[in-house]
A and B are shown apart, each in its own frame.
Chain A
Amino acid sequence: MRKYLSKRILSSLLAITGLFVMVFFLARLTGDPGHLYLPIDAPVEVRKEFSEKHGFNDPIYIQFGRFLEDLSEGDLGYSLRKERPAIDIVLEAIPVTLSLAAVAMTFALLGAILIGSLAAYKPNGLFDRISRVVSLTAASAPDFWIAITAILIFSVSLGWLPTSGVGGLPYWIMPIGILVIRPLGLLVQVVRGSMITALSSDFVKTARAKGVKEKKVIFKHALRNGLLPVITVAGDQAAAIANGAVIVETIFGWPGIGKLMIDSIMQRDFAVVQASILVTAIVILSINIIIDIAYAILDPRIRHK
C-alpha cells in the first residue's frame, strides 16, 4: 500500500514539474513576456523598465533559475490589475470552487449510486427505462441553458431563489443543482452498467445462497465491487468542476477559480492566469491521488500489488 501510494505521488510530482516548465516557456513563447504582463497601451519606456526589472533580457536559463527560485518561495508574480500577489488572489478563489465541487459531487455520487443500483436490480424494468431516459437527458443537457432557464423560472417568475451572488443556503441551490445534473446523469449510467455486471457475478450467487437479504446483496456485496469504475468517472467529473465551473461561476457570480481565470484572461492579467493554472493543476493531481487511495481502499487486490 505504501509503495503503491509513494509511486503515485512521485509520478504526480513529476507531472507538476513538467507543468512548471511548460508554464515558464508558455510565457516566453510569444517573445517578450512583458507583452503579456503589461497592458496593451503601456508606453515603450514602461515596457523597457519592466523588462529590465524582471530580467527578461537575461539568458533563458538564468530566467528559468529565477523562476524556480520565486516558485519555491511561493512567488508567482504580481497581479497588475488587483495590485496584490497573484497567489493570494488564486488561493482566495480556489476554496469557493472546491466547496462547489465537493458538495455537487457528493450529491451526484449518492444520487447516482441509489438510482443506478435500483435501475440495475431489474434491467429493462420500468424504473430502469425511466432512469435511462432521464440520465441520458441530464448527461447531455447544456449547463448554460439550464442555468438561464432555471434563473428565469425560479428567480424571475417565481421569485424563490436569488438570481446570483454568494450567501446562505438559497444562494447555493441553483449553482449546485446545475453542477450536479451532468455528473449525475453520467454517473447513473456508469453505476447502472457496473452494477449489472456486479449483480450477475458469481459472488452474488454465493451471498444469496447464504441467505443474505437482497438489500445487503445490492448495497454491500455488489456495490463495493461495482464502485471501482464509478470512482474513476466521478474523479474525472470532480476534476472538471475543480478546473473551473466557469459557466456556473460566471452566471451566478461566484468568485471561484473558473471565473477568476476568465476575468484574468480578459484583463490580460498574466500572473494570475499563470498562478491559476499551477494551483488548479495541483488540485487536479491531488484529486487523482485521492482516487487512487479510494481504489486501494475499495479493492484489496490493488492494495496488495
Chain B
Amino acid sequence: MSNNVNSLLKVSNLAVSFDTVEGSINAVQGIDFELNKGQTLAIIGESGSGKSVTASVIMGILTCPPGRIKSGEIFLNKQDILKLSETDKRELMGNKIAIIFQDTLSHLNPVFTVGAQIAECFEVHKNFTKKESWDKAIKLLDRVKISNPHKRAKDYPHQFSGGQRQRVMIAMALALEPDIIIADEPTTALDVTIQAKILELLAELRDERNMGLILITHDLGIAAEVADKVIVLKNGKIVEKGSLKDVFIKPKHTYTKELMNSIPGKFYQRHKRNDNIETNPILEIKNISKSYDTIACNNVNFKLFRDEIVGIVGESGSGKTTISNLILRLIEPSSGSILYHGRNIFDFDKKELFNFRRKVQIVFQDPYASLNPTMNVFDIISEPWIIHSDFLDKNLHQARISELLTSVGLQPSDSKKYPHEFSGGQRQRIAIARALALNPEIIICDEAVSALDVSIQAQIIKLLKDLRNEFSLSYIFIAHDLPVVKDLADRVIVMKSGEILEEGNVVEVFNNPINSYTIDLLKSSPSIEKLLSN
C-alpha cells in the first residue's frame, strides 16, 4: 500500500485470463496503476486490449468462469478488494465505487422506471424507505440536468434519448457519492454535441466531489480533452503510461506512435480530382423531401460527380440515412427527384431499376450484423452475380473473387471461410469486396468505419481511397465522426433535422465554417489538436 494520502485506488500486477475450449487466453497480463483524488485516468486501448476486463474486475462483475483472476491486488480504502468476501465486496460496489456503462439501452433494466433504478441504490446500501429513496432519485435526475425530473422519474429507459439515458446512468453512479467512478466508453454511442455535454458534466462532478475518474475509451480525442494521466493498453499489457502530455506529445512506444498517427483528421492528403473529365454529375439530388410522421428530409439538393467523395455529416435524426435509402430507392420520396445520368430514378421501370441497382452499392456500419453468418465469403461475394446472372459467367466467379479479395487486402484462400473467422476490420473488407462485385459507379458508405478501432479505421479509409483511385469510384460517405470525413471527403454536406445547413469543399468547411451549427459540431468534436497546439 502506498503512503500517498490522496491515493484512492491502487492496482498492482493484475492478471486475468479466460478459459476457453481452445485453451486459456490472457486478457490482462500484469498491469499496475494508481488513481488519486480529483484525478482522471484514461485507459486507452482498442478492442481486445483488456480495458473493459480491468473495469469488470475492479467492479467485481467479471463472470468467472470463464474469467479467472490469476494474480494481483486492488487496494481500495486500504483493503484488497480481491480478498474480500462477496458480501463485503457488495458493500463497496455502487457505494464507494461506481460504474457508467457504454450501451445505456441494454444496461438499464427495460422493465423498471428510471426513478426506481436510481432509488434502488439507496435501498440497497442505506436502508432508506421507498419514499426517501424516490425523492433522492428525483434530486439526482435534476442534478444531471434532466428537465421535469418529477415526471421523468416515472418513465422507462426506452422513453429517453441516448444522451438522457447516459445522464440517468451517471445519476445512478453518483447516487451514493462514491470516491471513484469508472466510465467505460461513456459516450461512444452518442452524438458529438451530446458527447461534449456528457464529458463536461463528468468533469464538473469530479471537481465538485473531488472524485477519482477512470475513463475507459478507444477515442484518443476524448482522452486528450478530459484526462490527467493516461495508460495505453495493448493485448492486456501497459505499453505506455504517464501524464497526458507526455504520452500524447512525446509518445515513446511504437504502438502509441502508431495510434497517434491513426487519428483521423490530422492531415490532408488531398486527392487531385480531374474536374475537366466530366462536367455532368452522375447523381443529382433535386429538391428531395421525405416525411413520415415527421419530416425526415426536407428539400435536399446536391450533386455527385465521377471520382468524387461527398461526405454527409450530421447527428442522429438529421436525415443522413433517409438520403441513402432514397438514393438506393429503398423508399419513395414525398417529393423531388434523383437524377442518375440525367434520368429520374423514381421513373425507372423494373428493368431499368434492376440495372441501376448494379451501379449503386452500399457498405453498412456494423460488419458483425451485415454479413450472413451461415454463408461463406465465396457465397457472400458471388451472390450479386447470381441475382444479376448476365454479369459474369459462373466459371469466372472463383477467379474474380480472388481478384476482389486481393484488392481489398485479403487472401484468395479466405473465400472458403465464414464471417466469424474474421476480425471486424476484415469483415468490413469483405463487405467492401461484395459492394465492388458488380463494378458499381457509386458506393454509399453508411457509417462504414464508425464501429472500427482507430488503427483499423485508418486502414479501411486508406483502402477506400485506393479503391477510388483504382476504379474511379464515387462515394457518398455518411458519418457522424467529423475527422474521418475530413480525411476522406472532397466535399462535405452538413445536415440537421433533415435539411442541409452547409455545403462546400471539405477544407473550407472545416477551416472556415459559416453556419453556427457547423461551428458547434466542430467545437464539440473531441480532438487532440488543442492539446498539441498548446
Contacts and interface: CB of A to CB of B under 8 A. Distances in A.
A210 interface: yes
A210 B174 CA distance: 11
A141 to B, nearest CB: 34
A300 B108 contact: no
A46 to B, nearest CB: 63
A54 interface: no
B110 A301 contact: yes
B94 A210 contact: yes
A57 B187 CA distance: 77
B103 interface: yes
Interface in A256-305: 298-301, 304
A209 B124 CA distance: 11
Contact of A212 (B63, B107, B110, B124): B124
Given A210-B120, A304-B159, A202 B111 contact: no
A182 interface: no
B110 A209 contact: no
B121 A206 contact: no
B107 A203 contact: yes
Contacts, number: 78
A221 interface: yes
Contact of A209 (B93, B103, B112, B159): B93
A300 B117 CA distance: 14
B99 interface: yes
Given A210-B93, A301-B158, A225 B101 contact: no
A203 B121 CA distance: 14
A206 B158 contact: no
Given A202-B106, A301-B156, A304-B158, A210 B111 contact: no
A300 B159 CA distance: 10
B206 to A, nearest CB: 19
Nearest to A210: B94
A137 interface: no
Interface string B334-353: 00000000000000000000
A210 B59 CA distance: 9
A221 B94 CA distance: 16
B60 interface: yes
Q: How large is the interface on B (under 10, 10 to 19, 20 to 34, 35 or more residues)?
A: 20 to 34
A201 interface: yes
B172 interface: yes
B222 interface: no
Interface in B91-120: 91-95, 98-99, 101, 103, 106-112, 120
Interface in A217-235: 221, 224-225
Contacts of B98: 209-210
B156 A209 contact: no
Given A201-B106, A225-B109, A304 B156 contact: yes
Contacts of A208: 59-61, 93
A203 B158 CA distance: 13
Contacts of A201: 106
B101 A202 contact: yes
B99 to A, nearest CB: 5
Q: Which of A200, A214, A301 has the most CB of B within 10 A?
A: A301
Given A202-B101, A304-B156, A211 B93 contact: yes
Interface string B312-356: 000000000000000000000000000000000000000000000
A206 B108 contact: yes
Contacts of B78: none
Interface string A62-105: 00000000000000000000000000000000000000000000
A293 to B, nearest CB: 15
A48 interface: no
Contacts of A224: 109, 111-112
Q: Which of A208, A209, A221 has the most CB of B within 10 A?
A: A209
Q: How large is the interface on A (under 10, 10 to 19, 20 to 34, 35 or more residues)?
A: 20 to 34
A207 interface: yes
B101 A206 contact: yes
A213 interface: yes
B111 A225 contact: yes
Nearest to B87: A213
Contact of B107 (A200, A205, A299, A300): A205
Given A203-B106, A304-B156, A211 B94 contact: yes
Nearest to A223: B111
A298 B110 CA distance: 10
B158 A300 contact: yes
B278 to A, nearest CB: 50
A298 B120 contact: no
A190 B130 CA distance: 33
Nearest to A216: B124
A126 to B, nearest CB: 15
B93 A206 contact: no
A210 B121 contact: yes
B92 A300 contact: no
A305 to B, nearest CB: 10
B90 interface: yes
A209 to B, nearest CB: 5
A224 to B, nearest CB: 5
B81 to A, nearest CB: 12
Contacts of B61: 205, 208-209
A227 B482 CA distance: 43
Nearest to B63: A200
A207 B98 CA distance: 11
Given A205-B61, A211-B95, A304-B156, A298 B106 contact: no
Interface string B46-65: 00000000001001110100
A202 B56 CA distance: 12
Nearest to B118: A210
Nearest to A199: B63
A200 B107 CA distance: 11
A250 B172 CA distance: 58
A209 B94 contact: yes
B158 A209 contact: no
B125 interface: yes
A101 to B, nearest CB: 27
B90 A213 contact: yes
Contacts of B86: 214
Nearest to A299: B111
Contacts of A212: 90, 94, 120, 124
Closest 3 CB pairs of A and B: A210-B94, A202-B106, A211-B93
Interface of A: 200-203, 205-214, 221, 224-225, 298-301, 304
Given A203-B108, A206-B101, A211-B125, 17 more contacts: A201-B106, A205-B101, A206-B108, A206-B172, A207-B109, A209-B93, A210-B94, A210-B98, A211-B92, A211-B94, A211-B95, A211-B124, A214-B86, A221-B112, A224-B109, A225-B109, A225-B110
20 contacts: A200-B63, A202-B106, A202-B107, A203-B107, A205-B56, A206-B99, A206-B109, A207-B120, A208-B59, A209-B93, A210-B98, A211-B92, A212-B94, A212-B120, A300-B111, A300-B156, A301-B110, A301-B156, A304-B156, A304-B159
